[in-house]
Structures are given as structure tokens and as C-alpha cells.
């Protein structure tokens, strides 16, 4: 089996497992390494100290898995219709990616199934490392190289047909596979995402100052939120979808076929009164198995207080 046949096998298996897209990138230094270093040096990562660790591994997948030759990149849609907003009492708002089960578990399970399927069909030893968001890997850069989509002006990966409401996963492997062509940029002259950002988190197209992003402020930032951002945060208590909501490429985004992403409690519009009165046990029960658990109880109450104006 040559590299082209192996690559086709990878894509066939990925589709059978339920991934919406699959592409292959070389396991070598990413092209925008200098930009990443400058971004970190400029303090754009805010208080996310973990992004300053293992930088060289982030910039070169072959340092994450010695001997790696290829990176299989997959996309899994989480897009779904937005339900009506409750009107009976004040609510917050949760980013769409956290409406269902924790994507880390869902995507990682599928990636392991992909790796296992390849081992069953390729009669030679090879190594794999499955990554979903937590490994020191620049998934967006690799997704662009693998043809999944281009990195848009809002720094998210965009696809002409699928928009941007999808998760990325990667399998770094020592298998040599035929690589795909990098994706072409289709943002054109559009600046909808830049214009709509409530906190002016984009100092320039294709650049984000994460320390100003509502997703960072509500999920990653552990301290109190600067009052200058309170009004701009609106009703977001976990994440933000504004730059995706206004993107023209998301107008026709398909609905996810993954049942585990179906809406579950606390849902898109958690009641502020519930959050503010949650005990540790209430919090644990509400966010178990959800990506919302990334934010601590203290942080969610902090976010709810900002919306409530307290």
C-alpha cells in the first residue's frame, strides 16, 4: 500500500467513524512559527501560561511524537439550531460548542477508533498520538495545511461549505501519508467578524488579542474581569459566538449528525438565579460530562454577576 492508498484509507475510515472532514498535513515545522512566537511575546495569550510551555513542540509536531511523518486532521460539526430564549427570568448565554456532551471525550473516542482501524488494516508497525485541544499542538495551523479550511480573519478555521462551527482533532503518526494541498483563503474583503466583536479583540485581521476575547474572559481568565469589559460581555456567561454568528460562511452551515452534541442541561440559556445559588454539588451535577466544567463554580458565578450587574 503506497502513501496515496494509505491516505485514502484514512479518509474512508474517518468518514465511516462519523467525522465530517479529514485532511493530511506533513509533520514538520508550521509555516507561521515566527508569528506564534511574536504573539506570545506580546502578551496576547493573557494569563494562559500553559501556552508558553512546550512552545517548540507546538511549532513542530515531529517533536511531539519522535519520528512522526504525517498529521491526520479531522473536523466534526457541532452546529445546530438555536432554541427560543426563555423569557420568564434572566438568563445567561453559553457558546454553542458547550451545549452538548464534552467534545474532548467525543472526538478523542473517534480518533482512537480511527487509529485502531488503521492498525487493523496496515500490516506494519507505526505509532500514533491522538490530540484534542489539550496537547501542545497548533490544530488550526495544521487544519489549514491539511486543507480542512483556512484560518479566517477571526483566527478560526473556516470552510466554504461547513462554516466554522466544528471541532478539530488530530492524529500525529509515524505513518507516511500523501498530504493534501493547503486551503485557500476565502475571506475576501469581508470584515463582519472584526466589526462585530464587542470587546475589540482583533487588533488586525487574522490576529486576536485573547486577553480581550469574551471566551477567554469567561472561561480561561481566573481573576476578576476588568469592569471596562462588563457591558460589552452582554449575556455571555461561558464562551462567545459573536464572530461566528455574523460570518457569511456560517449561513448555510450543516447541522451536526453527532447525537452526543444534542442540547443538555444547563443548555444554551442557563438561568442566572440558578448559577448564583449553585452549591458545589449543584455545580458538579450540572456540568458533569460537559465542556462547561472548564470554568470553575467561582468563575461561573463571577460571569453571572457581571451579567446581573452586581
Whether the Cβ atoms of residue 102 and residue 293 lie closer than 8 Å to each other: yes
Active site annotation includes 235: no
32 Cβ partners below 8 Å, 6+ apart? 141
* Region of residue 195 (phi > 0: left; psi between -120 and 50: alpha; otherwise: beta): alpha
Whether the Cβ atoms of residue 153 and residue 237 lie closer than 8 Å to each other: no
Q: At what angle do helices 103-121 and 3-17 cross, to 10 degrees?
A: 140
Among 60, 101, 133, 185, which one carries the catalytic annotation?
A: 133
Q: At what angle do helices 297-308 and 280-287 cross, to 10 degrees?
A: 90
Phi, psi of 295 (to 5 degrees): -95, 130
Q: Is 6 helix (H, G, I), strand (E, B) or coil?
A: helix
Show which residues are catalytic: 133
Amino acid at each position: 500500500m503506497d502513501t496515496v492508498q494509505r491516505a485514502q484509507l484514512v479518509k474512508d475510515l474517518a468518514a465511516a467513524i462519523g467525522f465530517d472532514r479529514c485532511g493530511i498535513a506533513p509533520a514538520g515545522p508550521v509555516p507561521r512559527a515566527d508569528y506564534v512566537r511574536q504573539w506570545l511575546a506580546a502578551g496576547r495569550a493573557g494569563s494562559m501560561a500553559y501556552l508558553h510551555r512546550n512552545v517548540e513542540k507546538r511549532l513542530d509536531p515531529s517533536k511531539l511524537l519522535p519520528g512522526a511523518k504525517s498529521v491526520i486532521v479531522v473536523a466534526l460539526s457541532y452546529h445546530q439550531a438555536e432554541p427560543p430564549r426563555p423569557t420568564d427570568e434572566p438568563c445567561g448565554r453559553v457558546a454553542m460548542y458547550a451545549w452538548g456532551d464534552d467534545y474532548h471525550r467525543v472526538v478523542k473516542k473517534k480518533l482512537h477508533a480511527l487509529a485502531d482501524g488503521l492498525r487493523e488494516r496496515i500490516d506494519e508497525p507505526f505509532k500514533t498520538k491522538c490530540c484534542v485541544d489539550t496537547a501542545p499542538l497548533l490544530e488550526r495551523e495544521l487544519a489549514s495545511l491539511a486543507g480542512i479550511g483556512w484560518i479566517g480573519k477571526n483566527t478560526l478555521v473556516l470552510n466554504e461549505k461547513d462554516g466554522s462551527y466544528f471541532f478539530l482533532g488530530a492524529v500525529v503518526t509515524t505513518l507516511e501519508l500523501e498530504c493534501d494541498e493547503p486551503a485557500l483563503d476565502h475571506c475576501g474583503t469581508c470584515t463582519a467578524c472584526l466589526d462585530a466583536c464587542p470587546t475589540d479583540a482583533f487588533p488586525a485581521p487574522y490576529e486576536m488579542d485573547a486577553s480581550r476575547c469574551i471566551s477567554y474572559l469567561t472561561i480561561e481568565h481566573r481573576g476578576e474581569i476588568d469592569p471596562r469589559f462588563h457591558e460589552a460581555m452582554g449575556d455571555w456567561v461561558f464562551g462567545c459566538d459573536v464572530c461566528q454568528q455574523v460570518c457569511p460562511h456560517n449561513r448555510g452551515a450543516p447541522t451536526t449528525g453527532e447525537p452526543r452534541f444534542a442540547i443538555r442541561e444547563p443548555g444554551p440559556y442557563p438561568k442566572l438565579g440558578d448559577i448564583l445559588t449553585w452549591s458545589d454539588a449543584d455545580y458538579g451535577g450540572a456540568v458533569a460530562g460537559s465542556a462547561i466544567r472548564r470554568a470553575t463554580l467561582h468563575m461561573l458565578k463571577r460571569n453571572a454577576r457581571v451579567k446581573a450587574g452586581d
